[in-house]
């Protein structure tokens, strides 16, 4: 049952994202002139936004890949990064301070 709920949530999230992207594309169809170094481009603003997002996602993925970051998949506990600690003897209980020292 949990898998079907996860699947439905993923589908709903993807659908909402797709609808928002479609709204942005429809509202930003006018052409804009873009200058990058020595080149000049004229393209729709939506395409410029989508390409900037794509470059950002690719750059983030490439950065994480080059750093060697490994994320645990959902549902699995993260792997420990340090050596396991050896349990030591329990600490002795403190002495009673109510008793008077013997002389």
Whether 2 and 23 have beta carbons less than 8 Å apart is answered as no
The pLDDT, as a whole number, for residue 57 is: 87
**Residue 44 CA from chain centroid, whole number:** 30
**42 Rama sector, left if φ>0, alpha if ψ -120 to 50, beta otherwise:** beta
Q: Is the pLDDT of residue 16 over 90?
A: yes
Asked if residue 31 has pLDDT above 60, the reply is yes
pTM for the predicted model, two decimal places: 0.45
Token reading at 103: 């002389």
User: Cα separation of 45 and 36, whole Å?
Assistant: 15
Length of the chain in terms of residues written: 103
Statement: residue 71 has pLDDT above 70? no
């Amino acid at each position: 049952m949990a898998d079907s709920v996860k699947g439905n949530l993923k589908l709903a999230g993807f659908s909402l994202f797709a609808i928002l992207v479609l709204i942005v594309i429809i509202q930003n169809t006018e052409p804009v002139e873009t200058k990058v170094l020595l080149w000049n481009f004229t393209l729709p603003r939506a395409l410029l936004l989508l390409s900037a997002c794509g470059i950002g996602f690719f750059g983030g993925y490439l950065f994480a890949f080059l750093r060697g970051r490994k994320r645990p998949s959902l549902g699995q506990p993260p792997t420990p990064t340090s050596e396991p600690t050896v349990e030591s003897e329990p600490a002795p209980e403190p002495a009673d301070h109510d008793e008077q020292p013997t002389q």
